[in-house]
Structure 1
Amino acid sequence: MTIQDTDIPRRRAFLSEGLRRYLAAFRTPRGLIGGGLLAIMCLAALLAPVVFPGAVDAQSRDSFLGPSLTHPFGTDELGRDIFIRCIYALRISISLVIVAVPIAMVIGTLMGLAGAISPALGDAFQRLFDIILGFPSLILGICIVVAIGPGWIALAVTIAIFSLPQFGRLARGALLTEEGREYVLAARVLGVGKRKIMTRHILPNAMDPILVQASLAMIGGIFAEAALSIVGLGIQPPTPSLGTLLNVGIRYVYVQPMYTAGPIILLLLLALAFNLISDALNAAVMKTRND
């Protein structure tokens, strides 16, 4: 049996152990509440066109109605149901973070680990992260919107770029920590290649904090979309997003308070769900390390 053949069972065992650890996080109270809340909102956003076909832009003469069983969040200035529009708006927020954050996680991790191949390249990426962090997310978003125009793509690019340093620095920290470990030094003495050291020792030890950070980055992405859309640089009307609903709702806050309260409630629920998931994952990781 060759060394390559023995690596396969080891990798499978590592993946199986990691999967069990992450699934165990969702069996804790925080994981159950956060995962259940997120699942409900994702399911509502996914099934919105089926449950409320054509209702997102359905207008009526009943403008600025208060909350009721028929209209839980009331109606807007055109008589449209605010609750239905908020549910449709969830599709934008959720689709943005589940696309942009994983892309940032993969690219940022690779950039953070680039120092294992070339120290100069690793240092260059760290200086790039410093530059990105020097820009507030709103200013960065404005620059990207000016370059490519407002819309979903501009928001996704903004979230991905702004999330890069978070993952890159975590990966860089794991790289510097693991390079000094005795088993890594022993592997180098035995002539083990850089790629194998990276995949067997450094990357597995970097994944736990990176996955926890991914949940936190999704919270930042949700609020970044809202902030840019509020100032008119994100999703453009008539497509509803939580930010665009807030942008219009602020004008009628005294006439129809639920116009702004509805999107804010969903924003907070999304943030709460990801925060609980992040706490559950972090607790599972820390428990494993302590054991």
Structure 2
Amino acid sequence: MSTSTDTAPATAAAAAPPPPAPAEGWRRYLGAARRPRGAVGLGLLGLLVLAALLVPVFSGGYDQQSATTFAPPSWAHLFGTDELGRDIFVRTLYGLRADLLLLFAGVPIAMAVGTLLGIAGGLSRALGMFLQRVFDIILGFPGLVLGIVIALIMTPGQSALLITIGIVLLPGYGRLARAALLAQEQREYVLAARVLGVPRWRVLVRHILPNSVDPIIVHTAIAMVLAVFLETGLSLVGLGIQPPQPSLGTLLNTGVRFLSLAPVYVLGPTLILLMLALAFSLLSDALNEAVTGYDR
């Protein structure tokens, strides 16, 4: 003879849906590339990445000097030359290469750590509140100011930039994960899993985290734009990548000093910087449309 207590686990099991299939999520994300914004953004980003990868093939290096200084743009030097006769176009592509390495290393680290910290709040209410206060403290510092502090503590360069990008972007991912956690905790499939006695950490990993991926993926494209301007801002004040190695911010920092002699000096790096930011912005819009199903 069965009792209501005996039927509760069976009812809970029936109410608990399986975690979303990874293939379904990937189809949505890949479908963003078929949307106009996604196609343009992905094509633009692909072009920039290809140019950054191939620049060593058709150039002699970013520090190759010549006797022709401040030459205007020409077929030989598309963006002209700088104060040492170096090709600004070549240096811009090497600077783009350095920026992309920072983005594709720093942003995923911030995404992984921030998401795990946000979800970890589900293990303990006190831990969740503590982590939120840590995120609030980080958000209390403007990104550029925090980057300056980190660069002054460390040696200015790629390592300081990488740590700065990771720390500045951390609260965004942590808060998104925390919001997703709070939204999912009261869903039927989570309550059903708890009724079945599933450990809390397993509920977080197997149920809540897979159902919280969409906003995190969309935010990543936005985080890429923030990281680009963060590198540029720190390099503009001389605390980013150090010469002679170029970055987009370093080239702008140097070009501003010679605007009276070569007004076109900063045009090339600025154009590439805007193209990179535009590519990630378009991808963010396309991903948001694909996830929400809303076409603007």
Report if TM-score (shorter chain) is over 0.5. yes
Number of the residue aligned with 1:205: 211
Number of the residue aligned with 2:256: 250
> What CA distance in whole angstroms lies between the structure 1 residues aligned with 2:226 and 2:253?
19
Structure 1 residue 27 corresponds to structure 2 residue 18: no
Number of the residue aligned with 2:79: 73
Deviations along 1:140-197, whole A, 9 cap, x unmatched?
0111111111000100100000000000000000000111112211221222222332
Query: Match of 2:24, as an amino acid?
Result: E
Number of the residue aligned with 1:6: none
Query: Match of 1:151, as an amino acid?
Result: G
Structure 1: which 5+ runs fail to align?
Answer: 1-9
Number of the residue aligned with 1:196: 202
Q: Could you tell me the percent identity over the aligned residues?
A: 57
Runs of 4+ in 1 over 6 A off after TM superposition: 10-13
> What CA distance in whole angstroms lies between the structure 2 residues aligned with 1:47 and 1:12?
41
Larger relative helix fraction: 1
Number of the residue aligned with 1:262: 268
Structure 2: which 5+ runs fail to align?
Answer: 1-16
Cα deviation for residue 36 of structure 1 reads 0.9
> What CA distance in whole angstroms lies between the structure 2 residues aligned with 1:143 and 1:269?
29
Number of the residue aligned with 2:57: 50
Which is greater in Rg? 2
Cα deviation for residue 84 of structure 1 reads 0.7
Query: Match of 1:196, as an amino acid?
Result: R
TM-score, length of structure 2 as denominator length: 0.91
The residue matched to 1:195 in structure 2 has which SS?
Answer: helix
Q: Pick closer, same or farther for the CA change 1:12–1:176 going to 2, 3 Å.
A: closer
TM-score, length of structure 1 as denominator length: 0.92
Superposed CA RMSD in Å reads 1.6
> What CA distance in whole angstroms lies between the structure 2 residues aligned with 1:254 and 1:154?
32
The residue matched to 1:116 in structure 2 has which SS?
Answer: coil
Query: Match of 2:182, as an amino acid?
Result: L
> What CA distance in whole angstroms lies between the structure 1 residues aligned with 2:99 and 2:56?
16
Q: Report 1:107-126 matches (<5 A).
A: 107-126=113-132
Which residue, out of 154, 158, 180, partners 2:160?
154
Number of the residue aligned with 2:183: 177
Query: Match of 2:46, as an amino acid?
Result: A
Mean Cα displacement is larger for which, 187-196 or 155-164?
A: 187-196
Deviations along 1:173-224, whole A, 9 cap, x unmatched?
0000111112211221222222332223211221100011111111111111
